[in-house]
Structure 1
Amino acid sequence: MLRATSSARLVAKRKLPRVRPRSAFSTSLRVQNDEQRERERRIRNPDDIHKDKFNYNPEVSFTEEPNVEHVQYPTVTANDLESRDTPPTEVRMLVRDFIEDSLYNPNYGYFPRQAVILDPPSAGFDFPSLRNVVQFEKKVTEKYISYGYDTSGPGRQIWHTPTELFKPWYGHAIAKCFISEYLLKYFPYEDFVIYEIGAGNGTLASNILDYIRDNHPDVYDRTRYNIVEISGRMVEVQKERLCESHPCVTVNHQSVFHWTKREPAPCFFIAMEVIDNFAHDLIRYDLRTLEPYQGWVTIDHNGDFGMHYTRVSDPLIRSFLDVRRRLKHPLPIRPVFQKYPALRRAYANLPLAPNLSEEEYIPTRLLSLLLTLRNYFPRHRLLLSDFHSLPDTIPGRNAPVVQTRFRNTTVPCTTLFVKQGYFDIFFPTDFERLRDMYELILSEPLGPSQSTSVNRALPHTSSASSLSLGSDFFSSYYPKNRRTPLDGVVSASGLPVGERKSSVFTHAEFLQRYADLKMTRLKSGENPMLEYYQNVKFLF
């Protein structure tokens, strides 16, 4: 979801000046400064006053034994905090739980409480009638102005998406992509099953279903559209907008991470402008040993934030690190340091040198989604789109943008420690690494309790297992761009066949393949649907 408060934010290359949030919310963002922490530490430990402090760097150093007061705080998760009406105090949590609580808590989270999706005219903009991009951006700005001005405090957090700006043509492009796959592989033997997570206003679902109903009525009769939505407010909007006009829609009010129902049929799974808000964990590496440490956010009785690190013990973080190791993706540490341990030790002994690597944000919740797809949607085809790069990120590898809308102006922040519910937190995605991780997860066999065997045969195939002779019985060669076939899933020829592996497309490449570009072309020949969102990619 592209966050913006004016048309100047449409193109990623145009940056706003960096503004520290403390100037806007000085009473809310009460993070203790380093000098105060050092004074308090010396009071608690007077014997340490005269110890050598050459290597003391409070921003990047750590001890294996964190502050006793912080350790004694109870550990909570975002799920534990769902029933709270106000942000917690005297607790500690993993960074991903802090982010999830800030964004999705039903009572004070950013999306349930603050976020508003820009909704252009119901018929969309009349692109062929607009002279050029300048006039189009003026139309977008006028729509923002129609929401009114906020005169004090953090106002409504209004942002727009390509689905809304280019409706219905953007949704029609998605529909064409799915229809071409469905007609080629499954029609008329299987229903046309679609799942969408984070459907927002329901615009994409409406545009897809309208296109199918108007152009492929025989397919529409076999269509089942399922929405998985975490926001109760959005659930009501989606039901009102979709369920009467399209009875094939089912809206499920739950998090996709809590999904437990198996879908054995072939299906298409949509995640558009969603994964940028998936929570990440924070890890850093000991520069002496290259051992990873997981970050903990602590909140004291005054609501002040702190951080400390412990050895990795969280199963999801461990799983991500194991996947990265198997894929041989490089660590966020200089290669020369990884190769020469003596050089690392010498560097760590320098005065004021850090003993931890810089912060790295790892997409652990994205890994959770891939595991959910493997376990509960064994025959899915994934279409995913989001940012691959972002301006104004906070410090760190794969770091997020943290921003709010204050008096009608976007305010980017320089820290993750911001008051829960008032700030958007969204991340870029390395799509090439995501593709590698996705294909590796899908290639892993499931345990007996999670078997995905398909026990039904298509009308043109035998009921016998297609893999009884082995998937490589007829040939010693198996194409690298195909996945290992599922047991019981056969091609029209009766031979086992694996799905084609996913590919990464730029925003323009995908739309040039599937969109009706003449409908969004301006009089000047410019096409904002192709020229905007250059920092977005597709995985399909």
Structure 2
Amino acid sequence: MFTRSPTTKKLFFFFRSHKSHFSTNIVGEKPVLVRDFIHSALYDPKHGYFSQRSRSVGVLERSIRFNQLEGRKAYMNHLDKIYKRSDISWFTPVELFKPWYAHGIAEAIMRTSQLSVPLQIYEIGGGSGICAKGILDYIMLNAPARIYNNMTYTSVEISPSLAEIQKETVGEVRSHLSKFRVECRDAADRSGWGDIKQQPCWVIMLEVLDNLPHDLVYSENQVFPWKEVWVEKQHDKESLFELYKPLEDPLIKRCVEIVELGKNQSVSIAKSVWSKVFPKPRRCWLPTGCLKLLDVLHEVLPRMSLIASDFSYLPDVSIPGERAPLVSTKKDGRSLDYNSYLDTKGDADIFFPTDFWLLERMDHYCSGWMKPHGDNSTKQGKKRRTLVLETSAFMEEFGLPSKTRTKDGYNPLLDDFKNTKFYLSVPTHNIK
């Protein structure tokens, strides 16, 4: 089933409709790209999951005393009780393992920073503010006084409710307030950053990449060209369906180009042969929100060092497509997953796995080091040194694993977070 638009003369394909009465409020009379639909579902002031729910990010009343727990069973029982008391909350690793998780990040920053200049830290999507407080605590207690006294810590937070919580959390230590500020805005919006800042700085993003808007592209088989996916209301106004258009959006086209860069030609030939025998449709989720954010960060903070942590894969994903998300909410302390991203009602988190190989390529691309096809300019961006570490490896190097170990030796931070990684990226001129 398809129709032809009288204005754009592009072919639209009907995919499938979803009875999603509340989510249709996100889409107006005109179709929107998937990334815009996801952005509204998560951050829209009226319908967004994070904008309206200050408790979408859980806050523990007190730190977990791991050395008083017998082992894994005791820890899981303790965690189950916490989640049942906080019905709609999610607890990030930096919250579950406070203050030790943030202390590990602070140690990594201290070891690799130019301490001859004032330390500047930006955190994107600071959640409850526990990371900011933990880092400020650690530097206050462990660094020379001049480092703490001269440092600045800026949180860029899109959610007004979370911005207020961050101020309260960091304000528990009065001396932190003169170093800390929250800017309530979208970090991917270039206009909010003002002038380019040439000073060295750190940018922290913890569990941010997974919630950045993604686009979706579709192909009828393994060799047909990609089409960009849009979301539109049906005439009954109570259901949504997908439209497929030829690639035209510049951001999607750039992201596809980065994904395709360096692909093995022999593999492409094999796919072409295979598609003739067993043709099947393809769906691929593209981290266009991440690409846009990295574009902005590299422009306004050209000497930034970056540290990010996120999921490298997600289990039990039922939504189709490469790098597909989980769409999940909580009820009575239990997770409930949706089968389609179109069913979101502003009550569900939409989070994606991070392809760290692709993240590294986008980082180099946005810094100007990796060039797109057809770019013959002589201008070369700064090469960056990058490192991807399992969470356990990062914490063993920079953290204090003994603080998150139970009596029998079980360590949930090292043993349970096998699907999370850290990404570190520094400009070469920041390395001696």
Pairwise TM-score range, normalised by the shorter structure? 0.7 to 0.9
Cα distance in 2 for residues equivalent to 1:428 and 1:175: 25
Residue aligning to 2:362: 437
Q: 2:183 aligns with which of 243, 246, 252?
A: 252
Maintained 8 Å contact 2:27/2:37? no
Residue aligning to 2:345: 420
The alpha carbon displacement at 1:222 in A equals: 1.7
Unaligned runs of 5+ in 2: 15-22, 372-377, 425-432
Residue aligning to 1:71: none
Are residues 1:137 and 2:76 paired?
Answer: yes
The alpha carbon displacement at 1:65 in A equals: 2.0
Superposition CA RMSD, Å: 3.0
Higher strand fraction: Structure 1 or Structure 2?
A: 2
Residue aligning to 1:538: 422
Work out the number of aligned pairs and report it.
Answer: 396
Unaligned runs of 5+ in 1: 1-37, 46-62, 69-83, 148-155, 349-353, 447-469, 472-482, 486-497
Maintained 8 Å contact 1:89/1:303? no
Deviations 1:467-525 (A, max 9, x none): xxx99xxxxxxxxxxx965xxxxxxxxxxxx65x1111001110110011221221111
Question: Partner amino acid for 1:539?
Answer: Y
Residue aligning to 1:390: 314
Residue aligning to 2:375: none
Cα distance in 2 for residues equivalent to 1:143 and 1:406: 13
What is the TM-score when the length of structure 2 is the normalising length? 0.84
Deviations 1:93-122 (A, max 9, x none): 001111111111011111122453222233
CA shift in 2, pair 1:91/1:422, >3 Å? farther
Percentage of pairs with the same residue: 30
Question: Partner amino acid for 2:297?
Answer: L
Maintained 8 Å contact 1:94/1:295? yes
CA shift in 2, pair 1:207/1:433, >3 Å? same
The alpha carbon displacement at 1:304 in A equals: 0.7
Q: 1:162 aligns with which of 69, 93, 102?
A: 93
Cα distance in 2 for residues equivalent to 1:358 and 1:339: 13
Residue aligning to 1:66: 12
Maintained 8 Å contact 1:86/1:107? no
The alpha carbon displacement at 1:295 in A equals: 0.5
Q: Secondary structure at the match of 1:194?
A: strand
Q: 2:257 aligns with which of 309, 322, 326?
A: 322
Maintained 8 Å contact 2:389/2:421? yes
Are residues 1:105 and 2:44 paired?
Answer: yes
Question: Partner amino acid for 2:89?
Answer: I
Cα distance in 1 for residues equivalent to 2:189 and 2:51: 18
Q: 2:208 aligns with which of 274, 277, 296?
A: 274
Are residues 1:517 and 2:401 paired?
Answer: yes
Higher helix fraction: Structure 1 or Structure 2?
A: 2
Question: Partner amino acid for 2:240?
Answer: F
Residue aligning to 1:207: 134
Q: How does 1:46-445 map to 2 (within 5 A)?
A: 65-66=11-12, 86-114=25-53, 115-122=55-62, 124-147=63-86, 156-182=87-113, 186-188=114-116, 190-216=117-143, 217-243=145-171, 244-246=174-176, 247-259=178-190, 260-261=193-194, 262-287=196-221, 290-300=224-234, 301-325=236-260, 327-329=261-263, 335=268, 338-340=271-273, 344=275, 357-393=281-317, 394-444=319-369
Deviates more, 1:108-117 or 1:303-312: 108-117
Deviates more, 1:89-98 or 1:247-256: 89-98
CA shift in 2, pair 1:85/1:283, >3 Å? closer
Cα distance in 2 for residues equivalent to 1:125 and 1:319: 44
Question: Partner amino acid for 1:323?
Answer: I
Higher Cα Rg, which structure: 1
The alpha carbon displacement at 1:345 in A equals: 5.3
Cα distance in 1 for residues equivalent to 2:213 and 2:264: 22
Cα distance in 1 for residues equivalent to 2:422 and 2:40: 28
What is the TM-score when the length of structure 1 is the normalising length? 0.68
Cα distance in 2 for residues equivalent to 1:101 and 1:330: 37
The alpha carbon displacement at 1:374 in A equals: 1.3
Q: Secondary structure at the match of 1:381?
A: strand
Cα distance in 1 for residues equivalent to 2:403 and 2:333: 32
Question: Partner amino acid for 1:144?
Answer: Y
Question: Partner amino acid for 1:218?
Answer: R
Deviates more, 1:407-416 or 1:394-403: 407-416
Maintained 8 Å contact 1:85/1:107? no
The alpha carbon displacement at 1:196 in A equals: 0.2
CA shift in 2, pair 1:144/1:287, >3 Å? closer
Maintained 8 Å contact 1:395/1:414? no
Cα distance in 2 for residues equivalent to 1:169 and 1:511: 9
The alpha carbon displacement at 1:280 in A equals: 0.8
Q: Secondary structure at the match of 2:241?
A: strand
Residue aligning to 2:427: none
Residue aligning to 1:457: none
Cα distance in 1 for residues equivalent to 2:78 and 2:246: 52
Cα distance in 1 for residues equivalent to 2:169 and 2:328: 30
Q: Secondary structure at the match of 2:170?
A: helix
